[in-house]
Amino acid sequence: MRRLSAIMVTLMLALAGATLFAVPAGANSVLDAPSYCADHHADGDGWGNDNYCSTPDDVVMAACPSGMRCGSYSISGLGSRKQQVRNAGANVLDLAVAMLETDRMDTNYPYGDNKRDDAANFGIFKQNWYMLRSKCDRFRGQSTSQWNNGAALNSNLSADISCLHQSQNAYGMTVWFGGHRNGQTGINNPNTSDINGYKAAIYWIRDQLNSNSANLSNDTRFWVDVRPI
């Protein structure tokens, strides 16, 4: 009887231990998502969803922009897309803008980015219609009501990049960042904390891309958690 009781106690303790240390099925399945595996130590290690995780072995990142979460993960085929965008005339900063705006640096997002008129966004950089019609020769002088014309950039990568460069050159980078982040309001007041945070995120991604030439052609996506507006 005592032997049976001892066996029962042992089994109960074992079951309790299994319960304490069990991990729910699929608990690690979200660690590759951009909201997880944030590397705050520049050593490839981090925490995501209350679990230890690691970034790709060949990726070492700088500390995140102040007050922001950041990280990296791999997307199959992204390296080819990076090269395609660069071959169409994009520089590394352009890659960073596109990489922050969409996972795959493409136009697979809701039409106009769920916006309309001057606020509507087009192309892989999500350029707004106000800036396009103000500074890009392709659309210069068009009205707010012609905003649907901006959709041409969704299928013309070279034109998309050309418009981006025209806008950046015309506004200067400080004002361009303001307008790209917050439209006409941002153009008129480009030094808000929100715009500066967006700028810091873009520059952080650019610096990660530049830190290793392999990052310009591999499948690694760098991300910073920036609030959408």
Please return the burial class of 196, using the count of CB atoms within 10 Å of its CB with bins 0-12, 13-18 and 19+.
middle
User: Tokens 């950046």 sit at which residue?
Assistant: 168
Give me the pLDDT at residue 229, please. Answer: 86
Q: What's the one-letter identity of residue 144?
A: T
Give me the pLDDT at residue 39, please. Answer: 40
Q: What's the one-letter identity of residue 65?
A: P
Each residue's pLDDT tens digit, 202-224: 999 999 999 999 999 999 999 99
Where do the structural domains in the chain lie, given as residue ranges?
Answer: 77-217
**pLDDT band with cut points at 50, 70 and 90 for residue 40:** very low
CA distance 32 to 53: 9
Assess whether pLDDT exceeds 50 at residue 200: yes
CA distance 37 to 52: 8
Assess whether pLDDT exceeds 80 at residue 49: no
User: Tokens 């066996």 sit at which residue?
Assistant: 7
**pLDDT band with cut points at 50, 70 and 90 for residue 59:** low
Bridge-partner residues for 51, per DSSP? 48
Report residue 180: phi and psi, to 5°.
-65, -35
CB 171 within 8 A of CB 181: no
Alpha helices in the chain (DSSP H): 2-21, 78-87, 92-101, 129-135, 157-171, 173-188, 193-211
Each residue's pLDDT tens digit, 81-126: 999 999 999 999 999 999 999 999 999 999 999 999 999 999 999 9
Please return the burial class of 137, using the count of CB atoms within 10 Å of its CB with bins 0-12, 13-18 and 19+.
exposed
Q: CB under 8 Å to 40, separation ≥6 — which residues?
A: 46, 63, 64
**pLDDT band with cut points at 50, 70 and 90 for residue 133:** very high
**pLDDT band with cut points at 50, 70 and 90 for residue 33:** very low
Assess whether pLDDT exceeds 50 at residue 42: no
Give me the pLDDT at residue 60, please. Answer: 62
Give me the pLDDT at residue 58, please. Answer: 55
Angle subtended by helix axes 193-211 and 92-101, to nearest 10: 120
Give me the pLDDT at residue 191, please. Answer: 97
Could you tell me which residue, 13 or 68, shows the higher pLDDT? Answer: 68
**pLDDT band with cut points at 50, 70 and 90 for residue 199:** very high
CA distance 166 to 156: 16
Q: CB under 8 Å to 15, separation ≥6 — which residues?
A: none
Give me the pLDDT at residue 9, please. Answer: 41
Give the pair of three-digit tokens for residue 6. 């001892």
Q: CB under 8 Å to 104, separation ≥6 — which residues?
A: 75, 77, 78, 81
CB 61 within 8 A of CB 70: yes
User: Tokens 């219609």 sit at which residue?
Assistant: 129
Report percent pLDDT > 70 for the chain.
74
